[in-house]
């Protein structure tokens, strides 16, 4: 891919905030780097993008994204490898998914090469925010939202595409407890579940809060029609190891986010010769396996969550324990391998790391 033809205007921050960062107590997603990317869509086309000092943006009270939810986002990470170079994990995949989300939400897609170059340039400028501290990375948050100053309902004619970045450690600081949800739904067929639309997250906050009051971290969503099939968790896709096989819900429906971490884990595990089943996964088979001891492993997979091993699955009044973390040969191996690829400790034979 040639990026030489894409140019952005650049205005550097006068001072860096990096010395104020407390790396030992870094909350997820609350500390932001020195710069941000901004590009506006108006007059039927994308205008020149700019990298400017990180700062609040002015907002018209009638800004349509706030009223009607034309708003999508992405999440990806930059890493400092063992040779001191910075790499970004599979940004081309996020660029594609961002286009798909935009189309579903009736928004103008950001051309994939502009998406990738905006991120590359921003990370290059804020390179010193990419730490080599173990378990840490620079979380990159691209987002696109409607900016028409209008309270009538129609697709907006103007938009802002922005990218902000935030140094982060683990999203979950302990193995996760997830609860199978049989009443509320995240996504229905024909809806926007496959898109990374802001509203999907807003809609899931109330149900998630109910399970958090019961001591769980997140829900395990099931299909909207029958609550019979497992779909994904609130911040990650889900994988199970039952009877030696790796099993994960297929993405045939338009109700599941097509996770990049999940796709990468499948490619990795298949390269080890292990069988992976992407198919409908019933709640019953997971619950039965957990009860009779054939559920060997369960873990969430996502950019922020990374490989998040599941400790407990809540099902109605039951708390089903997944085997002890030390015994999880598969998820421990996947976790170590994925980390080692990102940090350059083992060769990136898949070509996943994009060099900044």
Helical packing angle, 260-271 and 91-104, nearest 10°: 140
**Closest residue to ligand COI in the complex (CB):** 75
Helices (H), the chain: 64-68, 91-104, 112-125, 198-213, 260-271, 283-292, 329-342
Q: Does 257 bind ligand PLP (CB under 6 A)?
A: yes
- 302, 313, 322, 343: which one binds ligand COI (CB under 6 A): 302
Q: How far apart are CA 220 and CA 177, in angstroms?
A: 10
Q: Does 101 bind ligand PLP (CB under 6 A)?
A: no
Q: First vs last Cα of the chain: how many Å apart?
A: 13
Q: How far apart are CA 203 and CA 174, in angstroms?
A: 25
CB contact at 8 A, 310 and 299:
yes
Per-residue CA distances from 349 to 215, 264, 335, 340 (Å) = 40, 12, 17, 12
- 165, 303, 331, 353: which one binds ligand COI (CB under 6 A): 303
Per-residue CA distances from 144 to 58, 70, 113, 251 (Å) = 15, 8, 16, 24
Point out which residues pair with 274 in neighbouring strands: none
**Integer-rounded Cα radius of gyration of the chain:** 21
Eight-state DSSP code of residue 105: T
Please identify, among the stretches 122-130, 146-154, 301-309, 317-325, the one whose residues bind ligand COI according to the rule CB under 6 A: 301-309
CB contact at 8 A, 233 and 221:
yes
Backbone dihedral angles phi then psi of residue 230, each to the nearest 5 degrees: -75, 140
Please identify, among the stretches 94-102, 177-185, 206-214, 296-304, the one whose residues bind ligand COI according to the rule CB under 6 A: 296-304
Nearest approach in angstroms of CB 258 to ligand COI is 13
Rank residues 100 and 157 by Cβ distance to ligand PLP and give the closer one: 100
Q: Does 233 bind ligand COI (CB under 6 A)?
A: no
Please identify, among the stretches 32-40, 125-133, 277-285, 298-306, the one whose residues bind ligand COI according to the rule CB under 6 A: 298-306
Q: Does 298 bind ligand COI (CB under 6 A)?
A: no
Q: Does 71 bind ligand PLP (CB under 6 A)?
A: no
Rank residues 283 and 341 by Cβ distance to ligand COI and give the closer one: 341
Q: Which of ligand PLP, ligand COI, none has residue 255 at its interface (CB below 5 to 8 Å by kind)?
A: none
Count the site residues for ligand COI by CB under 6 A: 5
Site string for ligand COI, 181-220 (x = CB under 6 A): ----------------------------------------
Residues within window 176-205 making contact with ligand PLP, judged by CB under 6 A: none
Residues within window 68-127 making contact with ligand COI, judged by CB under 6 A: 75
Nearest approach in angstroms of CB 93 to ligand COI is 12
Point out which residues pair with 146 in neighbouring strands: 159
Rank residues 283 and 334 by Cβ distance to ligand COI and give the closer one: 334
Q: Does 232 bind ligand PLP (CB under 6 A)?
A: yes
Nearest approach in angstroms of CB 302 to ligand COI is 4
**Residues contacting residue 255 through CB under 8 Å, at least 6 positions apart:** 186, 187, 188, 189, 191, 193, 194, 223, 224, 231
Give contact residues for ligand PLP (rule: CB under 6 A).
Answer: 75, 232, 234-237, 257, 259-262, 301-303
């Amino acid at each position: 891919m040639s990026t030489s033809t894409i140019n952005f205007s650049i205005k550097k921050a006068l001072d860096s905030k990096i010395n104020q960062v407390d790396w030992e107590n870094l909350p997820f997603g609350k500390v932001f780097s020195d710069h941000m990317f901004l590009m506006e869509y108006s007059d039927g086309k994308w205008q020149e993008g700019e990298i400017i000092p990180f700062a609040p943006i002015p907002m018209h009270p009638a800004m349509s994204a706030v009223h009607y939810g034309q708003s999508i986002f992405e999440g990806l990470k930059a890493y400092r490898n063992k040779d001191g170079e910075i790499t970004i994990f599979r940004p081309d995949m996020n660029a594609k998914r961002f286009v798909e989300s935009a189309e579903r939400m009736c928004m103008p897609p950001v051309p994939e090469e502009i998406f990738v170059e905006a991120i590359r340039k921003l990370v290059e400028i804020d390179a010193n925010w990419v730490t080599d501290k173990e378990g840490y990375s620079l979380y990159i948050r691209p987002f696109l939202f409607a900016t028409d100053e209008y309270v009538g309902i129609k697709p907006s004619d103007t938009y802002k595409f922005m990218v902000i970045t935030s140094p982060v450690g683990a999203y979950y600081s302990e193995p996760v407890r997830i609860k199978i949800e049989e009443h509320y739904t995240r996504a229905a067929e024909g809806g926007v579940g496959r898109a990374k639309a802001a509203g999907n997250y807003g809609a899931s906050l109330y149900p998630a809060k109910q399970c958090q009051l019961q001591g769980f971290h997140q829900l395990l969503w099931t299909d909207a029609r029958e609550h019979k099939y497992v779909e994904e968790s609130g911040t990650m896709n889900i994988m199970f190891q039952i009877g030696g096989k790796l099993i994960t819900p297929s993405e045939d429906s338009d109700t599941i986010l097509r996770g990049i971490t999940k796709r990468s884990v499948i490619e990795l595990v298949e390269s080890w010769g292990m069988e992976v089943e992407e198919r409908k996964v019933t709640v019953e088979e997971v619950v039965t396996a957990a009860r009779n001891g054939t559920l060997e492993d369960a873990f969430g997979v996502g950019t922020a969550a990374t490989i998040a091993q599941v400790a407990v699955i809540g099902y109605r009044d039951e708390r089903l324990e997944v085997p002890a973390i030390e015994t999880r040969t598969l998820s421990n191996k996947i976790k170590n391998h994925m980390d080692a690829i990102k940090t350059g400790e083992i060769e990136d034979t898949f070509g996943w790391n994009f060099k900044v």
